[in-house]
Structure 1
Amino acid sequence: MFLYQIRNDLALKLVSIQDADETFQLVDKNRAYLRKWLPWVDSSKTVEDTKASFLSFLKSYAEQKSLTTLIVYQGKIVGVASFNKIDWTNKIAYMGYWLGSEYQGKGIMTDVAKALTTYAFNELNLNRVEIHAAVENKKSRAIPERLGFIEEGTVRQTEWLYDHYVDHVIYGMLKSEWEQKI
């Protein structure tokens, strides 16, 4: 089982069916907030939907295609952080994340993204971490910017969010750059 301690009150743990109810409650409580930037929110209507997603995440993890973790802060699940895709051929991890609105502004996501980036380079021996964020999603974009990721460009109309397309900014970090920052 994957468990990655970041600090005394913060850890990442592999999704598990046992955590589906608590995770669903967090999503449900933050539904309107999360829906603005995440295309899957409307399809997560029940705990069973969350369990089905978790089973898919666990299968992908077993196949070494991704890593989806729950963010545990002070003993509570407060969000999700993942490598949505791991490209072993090119040694790239694509990071995604979300956090319940009441847990923002505590440095949680910055510490999580920093820990996952370090994990990608030191444990998985990858060469690159990418973060894609909607151009207008300032909070999500602030994470890679705070960590010194390089803004590499904008991809136009790359994601369909319910009734419209959004552009994404791509941020990248190379292992050699990260080693100089730490």
Structure 2
Amino acid sequence: MEKHEEIPILVTGHYLLRGLTENDAEDLFPMLSNQETMKFITPHPAKNVTEICEEIRDSLSKYHQKKEIPWIIIDKETNRFIGMFRFHKLNLWHKKAEMGVVISKENQGRGVMTEILPVLLQYGFSEMHLNRIVGDIFSGNKGSKKLLEKNGFRKEGTLRQTDFDGEKYHDTIVYSLLKHEFHTLHQLD
């Protein structure tokens, strides 16, 4: 990570991942303000573009502190924003990070993460030299559970009633993938 001043661009067959910028706030507002899109992430979606600008500035500050890498996911065919991905809670000493993902409602269930997750994991383990990548999800998020398990993540446990959405508490399931497991799964050195 230290060799990159700019957030690296990652490319898959259908998608381009590029670094988040402050100019993205308006385009991200429809997605980040949508209650249904954000239901497994936060009970309080963004209320305005200014709030998103503040979140972007915070995210970019964390990038420069080497605590996060935020990407925008763009559909190469339509050139539209369809989501965001970030490695956050990044700790380069312990060589670990957590994943954070938001996919727009209309693009959920269309295989976006199925296509891009292997590329992101490859980048995390090979380029960033991470040893551990974590995905923690609300227990009701069946799509993410299936995606993580399909990509070799192991369930470590359930954290009971860790998040409150304003009406009820949600359990969080913690999954992790280690570098040697990823390399074994993909037969890499």
Q: TM-score, normalised by structure 1?
A: 0.91
- Report the more deviating stretch, 158-167 or 93-102: 158-167
> Partner residue of 2:139?
135
Q: How does 1:86-101 map to 2 (within 5 A)?
A: 86-101=90-105
Asked if structure 2 preserves the Cα contact closer than 8 Å seen for 1:6 and 1:111, the reply is no
| Counterpart residue number, 1:173 | 177
CA offset at residue 40 of structure 1? 5.9
For 1:117-153, what per-residue CA distance to the aligned partner results, in whole angstroms no more than 9, with x for missing partners? 1111111111010100111111122221121211111
Question: Which digits, 9 at most, give the CA deviation of each residue in 1:11-61, with x for residues without a partner?
Answer: 211110111111112333xx131242222643x111111111100000000
After TM superposition, the score normalised by the length of structure 2 is 0.88
Please list every run of at least 4 consecutive aligned residues from structure 1 whose deviation after the TM superposition is greater than 3 angstroms: none
Q: Kindly provide the CA deviation profile for residues 144-165 of structure 1, in whole angstroms up to 9, marking residues without a partner as x.
A: 1121211111111122222322
Normalized per residue, which structure has more strand? 1
Q: Indicate conservation of the 8 Å contact 1:37/1:161, yes or no.
A: no
Greater share of helix residues, 1 or 2? 1
Counterpart-to-counterpart distance in 2, 1:41 and 1:17:
21
CA–CA distance in structure 1, aligned partners of residues 142 and 66 of structure 2: 31
Calculate the aligned-residue CA RMSD, in Å: 1.6
**Residues in 1 aligned to 2:172 and 2:166: alpha-carbon distance in whole angstroms:** 16
Is 1:32 the counterpart of 2:35? The answer is yes
Report the identity percentage: 27
The whole-number CA distance in structure 2 between the counterparts of 1:142 and 1:4 is: 26
Instruction: Please give the per-residue CA displacement for 1:50-108, whole angstroms capped at 9, x wherever unaligned.
Output: 11110000000000011111111121110111112112232111011111121123321
Q: Any unmatched runs of 5+ in structure 2?
A: 1-5
Please list, as runs of the form range in 1=range in 2, the aligned pairs for 1:55-70 lying within 5 A after superposition. 55-70=57-72
The unaligned stretches of length 5 or more in structure 1 are none
Size of the aligned set, in residue pairs, is: 179
| Contact 1:3/1:11 (8 A) holds in 2 | no
